[in-house]
Amino acid sequence: MAFRFAGILFLLLLATSIVAQDIDYTSNENWWARPDMNDFADHVPMGPFYDRQDSAKADVFFIHPTTYYRGLSANASLKNQTSSRLTNVVLLNQATVFNGSCRVFAPKYRQTILKEFMLKDDTGRVSYFDIAYSDIRIAFETYLKEFNNGRPVVIAGHSQGSYLAQRLLADYFENKPLYDQLVVAYIPGYPLPESNFGTLYKQIKTCNIPNETGCIATWQTMNYEGTFRFNDRLDGRLLVYTSSGHRFLTADDSLACTNPLSWRSDQVTIPTDSNPGSLISVTRPGHMPEPKKEVCDATVWKGKAVVTELKDLSFNSTGGNYHIHDYGLFWVSIRRNVAYRIENHLSVSD
């Protein structure tokens, strides 16, 4: 009995320490990437790619996806060694796409454990999401105060990071003066209901042309099988954020989607030979191969970026869902597009 009581007490103390933690984002210790640091977002693959953060005219605020899979608390400690290693791998594969035209800022935060995104009961979940979001808000406010200096900003994320970015866009950009600095938001890997446009977002729109600014580009990469599995598996499980707060995603929800090859939301298929390069996942810096051309196609269907032709099976899927490759399959397309939008934003601003 005493052992059980001690175990419960330990868990309560652990949870309390997670909630009570006060994070100082003026310290580089609490960032995964910043332009004044040597970090995993500084690398580039082989080929004609360069880290140009020193001369970049815009910034990206990048919110990493879930890398906390197992643990005793619902929110990760910033010192969790396993999730730290995985987050650096994520930066290497995802955040590096921006270093050709942006200074990269990627905060650490008390991310919510993966299993909380898959439950049917929402009891407690929102409070765990709020802990993660509170860190992102403080990090972003620190970024604005200490580093931004009126520069154009790109908001980016993936999966849990995209969910948090959806909230950040609503709180800091929608109908706010900061909207004028928003180049674009790349937030793939988490559902965004189309019904949020006109409610949660009235000024911010979905991206419909390649050089549009002040818009959201979002997609979830799957094949047709994965689309059906996604709807069956996550109906009534995944929470989405709306103007009325959180609610469960349903199979009837229409989802926003931008084709990451054409940067349009129409249903025109962009063929495989028009894909300029896909980056296979890597785990160590210094071992980033040159992106491979003509790996896959993409078309928008039922709110997903659907792949019907895949020429390299290194880009594996889970039940037809290419979630972990939302950036990798379209890496060169994203890198080119962010530079294009920044150029347009600067020309319009001038």
Report the Cα–Cα distance between both ends of the chain, in Å, rounded: 70
Share of the chain above pLDDT 70, in %: 91
For the cut 50, the answer to whether the pLDDT of residue 3 exceeds it is no
For the cut 50, the answer to whether the pLDDT of residue 160 exceeds it is yes
Show Cβ contacts of residue 223 under 8 Å, excluding neighbours closer than 6 positions: 306, 307, 308, 310, 317, 320, 322
Q: What is the CA radius of gyration of the chain?
A: 20
Share of the chain above pLDDT 90, in %: 78
For the cut 50, the answer to whether the pLDDT of residue 208 exceeds it is yes
Axis-axis angle for helices 125-143, 160-172 (nearest 10): 60
pTM > 0.75: yes or no: yes
Average pLDDT over residues 109-137: 89
Average pLDDT over residues 247-265: 94
Q: 115-119, 163-167, 254-258 — which is least confidently predicted?
A: 115-119
For the cut 70, the answer to whether the pLDDT of residue 227 exceeds it is yes
Structure tokens at 33: 């990437």
pLDDT tens digits, one per residue of 76-108: 999 998 999 999 999 999 999 999 999 999 999
For the cut 90, the answer to whether the pLDDT of residue 7 exceeds it is no
Average pLDDT over residues 31-46: 96
Structure confidence at residue 6 (pLDDT): 38
For the cut 70, the answer to whether the pLDDT of residue 5 exceeds it is no
Structure confidence at residue 10 (pLDDT): 38
Average pLDDT over the chain, rounded to an integer: 91
Show Cβ contacts of residue 185 under 8 Å, excluding neighbours closer than 6 positions: 154, 155, 156, 165, 169, 204, 215, 216, 217, 218
DSSP state of 179: G
Structure confidence at residue 324 (pLDDT): 95
From residue 213, alpha-carbon distances to 65, 203, 278, 284, 339 in Å are 24, 12, 24, 33, 12
For the cut 50, the answer to whether the pLDDT of residue 65 exceeds it is yes
* DSSP secondary structure of 35-87: TTS--GGG---SSS----GGG-SEEEEEE------S-SSSB--TT-HHHHHHH
Structure confidence at residue 125 (pLDDT): 85
pLDDT band at residue 21 under the 50/70/90 scheme: low
User: Which has the higher per-residue pLDDT, 308 or 284?
Assistant: 308
User: Which has the higher per-residue pLDDT, 8 or 220?
Assistant: 220
For the cut 60, the answer to whether the pLDDT of residue 19 exceeds it is no
Structure tokens at 192: 């965004």
Average pLDDT over residues 46-75: 95
State the number of CA atoms in the 13 A half-sphere of 201 facing the CB. 25
User: Which has the higher per-residue pLDDT, 14 or 142?
Assistant: 142
